[in-house]
Amino acid sequence: MSAPVDEHRRTMTYADAALGKISELGELADPRSYAAWFTYATACSPSQNRIVDQTLVRKGAITPTELEKIYNYPQPDLISENVDKLAASVADEVEQVMAMIDAAVGNVASYRHGLSSMTEQLDHTQDRESLRAIVESLVQATISMDATNQALTASLKASKQEITQLQDKVELLRIDSLTDSLTGIANRKFFDRELEHCVAKAQASNGGLCLVMIDIDHFKAINDTFGHMAGDEVLRVVAHSLKQHVQPNDLAARLGGEEFAIILPDAPLRSALTVAEHVRCRIMAMHFMKRSTGENIGKVTLSGGVAAYRKGDTAWSLIQRADNCLYAAKRHGRNRVVCDEDALAAA
């Protein structure tokens, strides 16, 4: 059986499972809910799936908002509201510019008409006084036109500045939609998009690609013992460490909960292992304290899994192999990194 057929059947199984879950819970089958439940069905993010399962056991249901938060999807209402505001601002600014241009066209037409009228008068003027009056009118008309042009230039400059600021806001909104608000690194949406792109590039060029999955060990215990504020601080420190160990072409992302990932295009497996080990050792060497109370949190450790692209891989299959390695590291004592060529992963 060919790989594409296998992949088709696998994804259809995920799709059926996602729709089945939506039907079971009586939720709206909108694209965002479907995307989150599809991710759940693939089991490629076990830590988030556990949170979903715990929520369902505790409450018997889970809202779309809770689901999106668990899987680290950006809030649609906030993004939509900001887009609507920016679109309205751009439309208003463009309308003002068009009104200024229309006014300028009218002024030019009026000035041209005045010049034509004065030219006709010059043809029939015989005395000096009449000639002087025509020239003075011409000078006044020119001065008035110059003032109008200066005002138009100033208005257009102001509009250009406003439009530039709106463009900057649009860019910031684009970045916000792809960034995890807590840690400042890429969110799940950006990760999924970038990984698809990198896998396609690796397929086309037979180039290298590695994926690192990292999970904070016993993170629930940190939250339960010291509170979510302390947990958030640990997440920020881990994210900062990831950023410090990636190159400009790499991507560090928070997938949700305590799970992170690093996409390493054109990187051999050994280099990806080195990056993961450096991050793990850096965090293990730190001593964490709760800022608000000075309580000693102690050591925090990470488990990691590394998978290298293989011919025929899809984004999902690469994630699954990296995640298998991650949970092999968990099973064998945590605070370690396992790659997909390791005997522990095979076991």
CATH class for the domain made up of 182-346: alpha beta
Given a cut of 70, is residue 97 above it in pLDDT? no
Please spell the DSSP secondary structure of 293-327, one letter per residue: T--EEE---EEEEEEE--TT--HHHHHHHHHHHHH
Cα three-residue angle 309-314-318, rounded to 5 degrees: 50
**pLDDT level of residue 66 (50, 70, 90 thresholds):** confident
**pLDDT level of residue 168 (50, 70, 90 thresholds):** low
Does residue 120 have an active-site annotation?
no
Q: What b/e readout covers 132-157, taking b as 16+ CB neighbours within 10 angstroms?
A: eebeeebeebeeebeebeeeeeebee
Which two tokens mark 115? 């010049």
What pTM does this model have?
A: 0.60
Write down how long the chain is: 347
* 170 close to 86: Cβ distance less than 8 angstroms: yes
Q: What mean pLDDT is predicted for residues 170-189? A: 77
Whole-number pLDDT of residue 2: 46
**pLDDT level of residue 1 (50, 70, 90 thresholds):** very low
d(CA 21, CA 32): 14
Q: How far is CA 206 from the centre of its chain?
A: 28
Please state the domain extents for the chain.
3-70, 77-177, 182-346
Residues with Cβ within 8 Å of 208's Cβ and at least 6 positions away in sequence, in order, are 202, 265, 266, 267, 268, 308, 309
Whole-number pLDDT of residue 3: 47
Helix (H) or strand (E) holding 253: strand 251-256
Catalytic residue among 68, 233, 258, 259: 258
**pLDDT level of residue 268 (50, 70, 90 thresholds):** very high
Q: What mean pLDDT is predicted for residues 19-40? A: 77
Whole-number pLDDT of residue 335: 96
Range in 18-27, 93-102, 135-144, 188-197 with the lowest mean pLDDT: 93-102
Mutual angle of helices 31-42 and 315-331, in 10-degree steps: 50
